[in-house]
Copies of this chain bind each other. A is one copy, B any other.
Amino acid sequence: MKLLSVGTVAFDALETPFGKRDRIVGGSCTYISLSASYFLNDLGLVSVVGDDFPQETINLLENKSINLEGLQIKQGEKTFFWSGKYHNDMNTRDTLDTQLNVLENFDPIIPESFKNPEYVMLGNLVPALQLKVLDRLENTPKLVVLDTMNLWMDVALEDLKKVLKRVDLLTINDEEARQLSGEYSLRKAARIILDMGPKYLIIKKGEHGALLFHGENIFYVPALPLEEVFDPTGAGDTFAGGFIGYLSATDDISFENMKRAVVMGSAMASFCVEKFGPERMENLTQEEINDRIAQFKKLTDFTMNYEFA
C-alpha cells in the first residue's frame, strides 16, 4: 500500500459567521483521505464509526478509490461527534461539545494488506493510538507524518513525546508550536521541536500560510487571500492530505519536493474553506487544482537582480 491514513471519521456540528450546520460528516481522516485521493488511488484508511454513519458517505469515499477495509463499523454504537463555534476572526474557535462514542474503546486494527505502507499519515487522534498503529506495522515506512493538537499537549504530553520520537514530520499550528516548545519565536520553537524527534516540521498559520522547517532550511508558503473563508473546519487535515498525497504520488522526499508538497497542501486547503465541511472536497477537478497552483506561483513569484549604484 502506498499511503495509510489513520484518524477520526466523525459527525461535526459547526457554526461560523456565515452559517450553521447541525450534523455533517467530518473527522481528520475524512479530510485527509479525500484530499490525498486526488493524487493517488492506492490509499487506505483506518478508523471507526457507529452504525449511524451514512452509507452515502461510505460510497463517496469508495468512489474516490479510498480502501475502507480498515474502517470499523460498530453496530449499536454512535459515531464520534464534535461541535464547535468559530469566532469572527475565523482563526479561533470554541469547542461546544465532544462525544467520544465509538472512539472511547477504539482499537486501530490494521488489515493485513495495510501493514506495509510506504507512507503513513497519522491524523489527529489520542497519541497512544497513534503509537499503537506504528507498533502494528510490519515495515519502516519511507515517511511517517504526524498531526496532533493542543489537547494532547495538555492531557497526554508523555505519550505525544513518544510518538514524536518515531515520526519523520510533524504538522501543528503556530499556537501549538509555541505551547509544545515554550518559545514564542517560531524559528526558536522549530529548533526545539526538531530536537524532539521529527526531522521535518510544518507550522500551519491559517490565513497567514505555512512554514516548513528542516535543519536550518525554511520554506514559507502564504495562504491564498480568499474573498471569504466560510468554514475553516478540516483545513489543516486537508492540507496534510494534499501534502502527503502529493509526496507519496511523486515518491520523492527531498526538501525541494516537500516544498512543492507544502504548496499542494495549501492549495487543497484553500478549496476546503470555501464551503461547509468537506463539501468542496468532494468534486474538485484536476483543472481547478492546476489553476490554483498557478495562482500560488503568481502570488509569490518575483525576480530580483538589483545592483547597488
Q: Which residues of A contact B (CB under 8 A)?
A: 38-40, 88-89, 184-188, 205, 208-209, 211, 218-222, 225-229, 246, 249-250, 256, 259-260, 263-264, 286, 289-290, 293, 297, 299-300, 302-304, 306, 308-309
**A246→B300 contact, CB < 8 A:** no
A293 touches which one: B40, B185, B306 (CB < 8 A)?
A: B306
Given A187-B225, A222-B222, A222-B300, 4 further pairs, Cβ under 8 A: A205-B208, A246-B306, A290-B306, A290-B308
**B306→A220 contact, CB < 8 A:** no
Residue picked from A39, A40, A185, A229, most chain B C-beta under 10 Å? A185
**B186→A259 contact, CB < 8 A:** no
A250 touches which one: B39, B89, B297, B306 (CB < 8 A)?
A: B306
**A222→B209 contact, CB < 8 A:** yes
**B187→A259 contact, CB < 8 A:** no
**A225→B186 contact, CB < 8 A:** yes
User: Given A187-B226, A225-B218, A227-B188, are A309 and B88 neighbors across the interface (CB < 8 Å)?
Assistant: no
**Nearest CB in chain B to that of A189: its residue:** B225
Q: Which residues of B contact A303 (CB under 8 A)?
A: 256, 260
**Nearest CB in chain B to that of A213: its residue:** B225
What's the Cα separation between A220 and B219 when bound, in Å? 14
User: Given A297-B304, A302-B263, A304-B263, are A185 and B228 neighbors across the interface (CB < 8 Å)?
Assistant: yes
